[in-house]
């Protein structure tokens, strides 16, 4: 892998308008797994090449579970009302073969809000209704979570997660040429693609500033969806590549999503 950098293109916020959304995400975590590229390949559109790293002589693709709490989800042109709900994204890291851009491939999203009907039925996004509960304690003075628990009740993707937070920024991410390359790839994919519910390829983009994460460790991680996809044995902590945590982050979501032409 060539080194990746937080350049001005990634860190410059595009203008907002229309249906664009701004939200503050709380309890934001990225739990990344190392998976067999051959197992992941059938779940990703052929347009995209898998990002792989080499760890202990073995080639691995990367898949992340990203839970967070939307605290004040609102449209740019209509700041009221604001919505609060839990959300979990399931994504892989890929390269768009047409543009060379590093992007995220989304398997889907769990959303703890009745508003899921809008993206699900109007835009055909692979978003699914869930109940998500966070049980957390954050120590502002120490800059770390003393307790981080998340539980999802869902027909599509139930989940249980417990994290320990070091309160210290990561100093390395295995398999990457340097730390910045790993952080760019794992924390800063600003464009995402997915298969819509009608089978067509869809896309939407986000923007956020460079994240200031701390390194964590999973003490429990159950994501049956990943086992169902044939990627990770449920509850297997040895397949976890890294855990990155940030208590709050401002995100912009550029809507509506687009149908991508073949």
In the prediction, which pLDDT does 178 show?
98
Mean pLDDT of 88-92: 98
Confidence of residue 76 (pLDDT cuts 50, 70, 90): confident
The pLDDT of residue 2:
86
In a domain, 17, yes or no: no
**Span 20-40, average pLDDT:** 97
130 domain-assigned: yes
Assess whether pLDDT exceeds 90 at residue 113. no
Q: How many CA atoms lie within 13 A of 17 on its CB side?
A: 2
Domain of residue 177, residue span = 8-12+22-255
Residue 191 is predicted with a pLDDT of 98
Question: Contacts for 167-172 with beta carbons within 8 Å, 24 or more apart?
Answer: 167/142, 167/143, 167/214, 168/214, 168/215, 169/212, 169/213, 169/214, 169/215, 170/213, 170/214, 170/215, 170/242, 170/244, 171/215
pLDDT at 79: 66
* Selected residue with higher pLDDT from 118 and 28: 28
Per-residue model confidence as pLDDT tens digits over 45-61: 999 999 999 999 999 99
Is residue 187 assigned to a domain? yes
Structural domain includes residue 166? yes
Q: How many domains does the chain have?
A: 1
Q: Is residue 262 part of a domain?
A: no
Q: Is the pLDDT of residue 226 over 90?
A: yes
CB atoms < 10 A from the CB of 242, how many?
24
In a domain, 53, yes or no: yes
State yes or no: pLDDT of 121 exceeds 80.
Answer: no
CATH number at residue 132: 2.40.400
Q: Band of the pLDDT at 84, cuts 50, 70, 90?
A: confident
In a domain, 38, yes or no: yes
pLDDT, position 18? 77
- Please indicate, yes or no, if residue 261 is contained in any of the structural domains: no
């Amino acid at each position: 892998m060539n080194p990746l950098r937080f350049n001005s293109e990634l860190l410059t916020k595009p203008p907002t308008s229309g249906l664009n959304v701004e939200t503050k995400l709380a309890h934001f975590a990225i739990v990344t797994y190392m998976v067999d590229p051959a197992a992941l390949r059938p779940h990703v559109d052929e347009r995209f090449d898998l990002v792989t790293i080499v760890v202990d002589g073995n080639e691995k693709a990367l898949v992340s579970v990203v839970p967070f709490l939307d605290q004040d989800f609102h449209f740019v042109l209509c700041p009221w009302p604001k919505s609060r709900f839990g959300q979990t994204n399931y994504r892989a890291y890929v390269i768009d073969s047409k543009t060379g851009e590093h992007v995220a491939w989304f398997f889907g999203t769990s959303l703890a809000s009745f508003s899921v009907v809008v993206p699900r039925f109007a835009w055909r996004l692979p978003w699914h209704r869930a109940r998500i509960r966070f049980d957390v304690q954050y120590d502002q003075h120490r800059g770390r979570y003393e307790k981080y628990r998340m539980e999802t009740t869902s027909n599509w993707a139930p989940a249980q997660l417990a994290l320990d937070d070091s309160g210290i920024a990561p100093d390395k991410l295995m398999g990457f040429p340097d730390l910045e390359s790993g952080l760019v790839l794992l924390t800063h994919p600003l464009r995402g693609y997915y298969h819509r519910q009608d089978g067509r390829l869809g896309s939407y983009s986000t923007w956020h500033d460079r994240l200031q994460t701390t390194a964590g460790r999973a003490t429990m991680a159950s994501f049956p969806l990943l086992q169902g996809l044939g990627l990770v044995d449920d509850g297997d902590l040895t397949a976890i590549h890294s855990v990155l945590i940030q208590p709050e982050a401002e995100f912009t979501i550029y809507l509506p999503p687009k149908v991508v032409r073949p």
